[in-house]
Amino acid sequence: MILDRIEKLPLYEHVIPFAGKIAEAFAADTPANAPCEVREKEYALKPDEKRRFEVHFHTIDLMIAKEGAEVIHICPMECVTPAEALAGGADGRKMDGGPCGTAAEVHAGWFCAIFPGEAHMVGGKLHGEDGSISKWVVKVPCTAEFVCNDREP
């Protein structure tokens, strides 16, 4: 997991494929110019009992906060219990378990890169307060040049 300010994203090009081009697309607010899939998300934060972990095996989830903030819990996938596969044949699976591991606060202007094998639970309330987040979730494929964790439970 990497948590840092968006202007520093290009510095991570050696571990996050296409980091510089993603940062340029985000700065221009043009998801179509990003070199990989961008999902624009906006949602209300949830209480812990309504959140679930998921893990990916072949992609990096790069979350870039536009407005608002959220808590993302991140832990090794071995710390939670495997559950159903993600819908539609997407890379990864849901995982069962309550919040555990690192509680990363992602604020507007920050990014969080979650690597294969790192279970993550998004949408957590900051300090128990209601709120919302608007963000990009960039699905960065792990290429042959980048070492990725492709272990499936």
CATH architecture of 2-7+38-141: Sandwich (2.60)
The residue type found at 78 is E
Measured on CA atoms in the order 78, 19, 39, 107, is the torsion positive or negative?
positive
Region 131-153: what's the mean pLDDT?
A: 77
Distance CA 28, CA 39 (A): 16
Whether residue 94 contacts residue 77, with contact meaning beta carbons closer than 8 Å, is answered with: no
Q: How far apart are CA 149 and CA 153, in angstroms?
A: 11
- Collapse the DSSP code of 47 into the 3-class scheme (helix H, G, I; strand E, B; otherwise coil) and give the result: coil
pLDDT in tens, 5-49: 999 999 999 999 999 999 999 999 999 999 999 999 999 999 999
Confidence at residue 142, expressed as pLDDT on a 0 to 100 scale: 85
Confidence of residue 153 (pLDDT cuts 50, 70, 90): very low
Average confidence (pLDDT) over 120-148: 88
| Residue partners of 128: CB distance under 8 A and separation at least 6 | none
pLDDT digits (tens, 9 = 90+) for 34-88: 999 999 999 999 999 999 999 999 999 999 999 999 999 999 999 999 999 999 9
Supply the pLDDT for residue 70: 98
Q: How does residue 115 score in pLDDT terms, banded at 50, 70 and 90? A: very high
**Region of poorest pLDDT, from 41-45, 84-88, 122-126, 144-148:** 144-148
DSSP at 118: E
In the chain, how many H helices and how many E strands? 1, 10
Residue 14 CA to residue 27 CA, distance in Å, equals 20
Predicted pLDDT at 145: 60
Continuous segment of H or E residues that includes residue 19:
helix 19-27
C-alpha 68: how far from chain center: 15
The answer to whether the Cα torsion of 13, 60, 77, 70 is positive or negative is positive
C-alpha to C-alpha distances, 62 to 16, 82, 129, nearest whole angstrom: 9, 22, 24
pTM recorded for the entire structure = 0.92
